[in-house]
Amino acid sequence: MVVRRVIFFLLPIIALEKEIEGIEKADRMNNSLTQCPVCQGELTITRLKCESCDTSLEGRFGGGPFSHLSREQTDFLLTFIRCEGKLNRVEVEMGLSYPTLRNKLLEVIRSLGFEPGREEPVEVTDDQRRQVLDDLDSGKITADAAMRMLRGDLSGQSEVE
């Protein structure tokens, strides 16, 4: 009698789990169609269709800058955005260490075609250079702040010795 009740209780839960598993599988399939399943070549979107009015467009369409990210990278990026870019919140949500998350972020950045840590050098004008040296001389900023500012990081202007 108890076994029947347990089974009766578990059947809807098992059915729901199978449904969720099917939805997740379909979602993975739809989001990962960037490579040909036969030859692993890059797939191109050639047809778009409006479900509302049945209009179709044919041509060669790009999938956007995020289309080639793996499912894992996309999930990480969505979590990162949901956590407003705060890795400490992502740590809690994903249960991963800061170094692991940092590596995942660098991997996504590289996948998008950027090189992490490479920033365009900021040119410091002669007027800015003179102002920094004057501020250093008058004690308005520290020597470290002056060095950073002369290298192009103008955010250190408020540091006082």
Alpha-carbon span 81 to 62, nearest angstrom: 23
Instruction: Return the H-helix or E-strand segment holding 80.
Output: helix 71-82
Whole-number Cα distances in Å, 66 to 49, 91, 98, 100: 21, 23, 23, 21
Please give the pLDDT value at position 29: 44
Higher-pLDDT residue of 65, 29: 65
Whole-number Cα distances in Å, 144 to 52, 115, 119, 150: 62, 27, 20, 10
Query: Residue 58: which residues within 8 A CB-CB, separation 6 or more?
Result: 46, 47
Alpha-carbon span 41 to 129, nearest angstrom: 53
Please give the pLDDT value at position 15: 54
Alpha-carbon span 105 to 87, nearest angstrom: 10
What is the rounded average pLDDT of the residues 128-132?
89
The answer to which of 16-30, 37-51, 58-72 has the lowest mean pLDDT is 16-30
* Residue ranges covered by each domain of the chain: 31-64, 69-118, 126-158
What is the rounded average pLDDT of the residues 115-131?
78
Q: pLDDT (tens digit, 9 = 90+) per residue, 43-69?
A: 888 888 999 999 999 988 877 888 888
Please give the pLDDT value at position 108: 92
Please give the pLDDT value at position 64: 80
Quick check: 92 pLDDT over 90? yes
Whole-number Cα distances in Å, 76 to 13, 28, 59, 60: 28, 14, 31, 29
